[in-house]
């Protein structure tokens, strides 16, 4: 693969510089070390093909298209600051490469330190693992995904770009115990709740960053007096939409019935609806949202302790708390 893509080196480098400038202009990549990683890791090597939605159908763009116009379109899209659909099965998206500016925010929010061992849940194309390996070194990075097809291609993409972190085929909800303990865990798939296995595989003071509901929860892991692990933290202010985690519990979905259109179109209200599924009906959620003056995501948090986990508004002790991890109906 690398041989075929070498001819794109110069235009790709210019496209990469443009992508980084746009991310910086939007307030991202304030850490110069992460900026260097985005400048030097060639994203196009990780997306030799991807799919774009055209009228509900997916069109495939790839690096070896005989049409030079379509090849140029493929390369330009590889450095567009947006998500790319990389695996589609029976019309359903099963894997993607995330929006680079969102990846940058997540990596900076992970707060890695020199020598940190990192577990990534959701290997995707391997691009995020490459950015982590650029920062910390191959030996400290583990990335896991359920599907052999995904991990095989991620491993090939990483090798083509000169990186060799550990790529594992397995259930990310169970972590990767043989590579533990970890100082950081980052997930690139949406969770219904926090897998307890992750906490058990973390060192004390580890940080977990994961999509939950339509936000990003940043948890700090603690070791309790009896040696058990607990974790607590708040959501970041940014929104986040990812492919659901496969292998764990189902991601919450629900029927909403008749609701004011303005509320349903509000991103923050839909975040609250998903977060409180199983605890508040939509009307109760709307009443709370309006009473609390449409709270932003960073007013909410999550606590995992004593075999329980719950979301909360403002204070983990209440009065507004909701259990996580319930099964839900179709939206």
Q: Active-site residue numbers? A: 95
CB 192 within 8 A of CB 249: yes
116: alpha, beta or left, given left = phi > 0 and alpha = psi -120 to 50? beta
Q: How far is CA 119 from CA 142, 176, 244, in A?
A: 5, 8, 18
Give the relative orientation of helices 127-136 and 148-160 as an angle to the nearest 10 degrees.
50
Residue 141 β-bridge partners: 118
Helix or strand or coil: residue 93?
strand
**Cα–Cα distance for residue pair 111/217, rounded to 1 Å:** 13
157: alpha, beta or left, given left = phi > 0 and alpha = psi -120 to 50? alpha
| Among 214, 232, 215, CA closest to 223 | 232
């Amino acid at each position: 693969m690398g041989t075929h893509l070498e001819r794109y080196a110069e235009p790709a480098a210019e496209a990469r510089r443009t992508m980084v400038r746009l991310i910086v202009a939007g307030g991202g990549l304030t850490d110069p070390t992460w900026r260097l990683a985005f400048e030097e890791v060639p994203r196009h090597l990780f997306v030799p093909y991807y799919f774009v939605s055209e009228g509900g159908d997916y069109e495939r763009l790839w690096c070896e298209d005989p049409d030079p116009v379509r090849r140029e379109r493929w390369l330009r899209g590889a450095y567009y600051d947006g998500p790319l659909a990389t695996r589609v099965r029976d019309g359903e998206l099963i894997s993607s490469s995330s929006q680079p500016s969102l990846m940058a925010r997540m990596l900076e929010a992970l707060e890695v330190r020199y020598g940190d061992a990192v577990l990534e849940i959701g290997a995707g194309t391997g691009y995020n693992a490459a950015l982590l390996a650029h920062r910390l070194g191959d030996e400290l990075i583990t990335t896991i995904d359920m599907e052999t097809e995904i991990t095989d291609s991620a491993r090939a993409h990483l090798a083509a770009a000169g990186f060799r972190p550990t790529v594992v085929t397995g259930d990310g909800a169970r972590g990767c115990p043989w590579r533990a303990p970890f100082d950081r865990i980052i997930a690139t798939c949406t969770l219904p709740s926090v897998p307890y296995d992750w906490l058990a595989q973390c060192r004390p003071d580890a940080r977990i960053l994961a999509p939950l509901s339509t936000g990003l929860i940043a948890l700090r892991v603690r070791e309790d007096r009896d040696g058990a692990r607990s974790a607590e933290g708040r959501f970041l202010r940014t929104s986040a939409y990812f492919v659901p985690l496969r292998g764990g519990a189902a991601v919450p979905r629900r029927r909403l019935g008749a609701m004011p259109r303005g509320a349903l179109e509000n991103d923050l209200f839909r975040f609250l609806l998903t977060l409180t599924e199983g605890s508040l009906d939509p009307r109760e959620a709307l009443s709370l949202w309006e009473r609390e003056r449409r709270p932003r995501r960073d007013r909410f948090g999550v606590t995992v302790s004593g075999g329980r986990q719950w979301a909360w508004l403002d204070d983990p002790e209440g009065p507004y708390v909701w259990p996580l991890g319930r099964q839900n109906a179709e939206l």
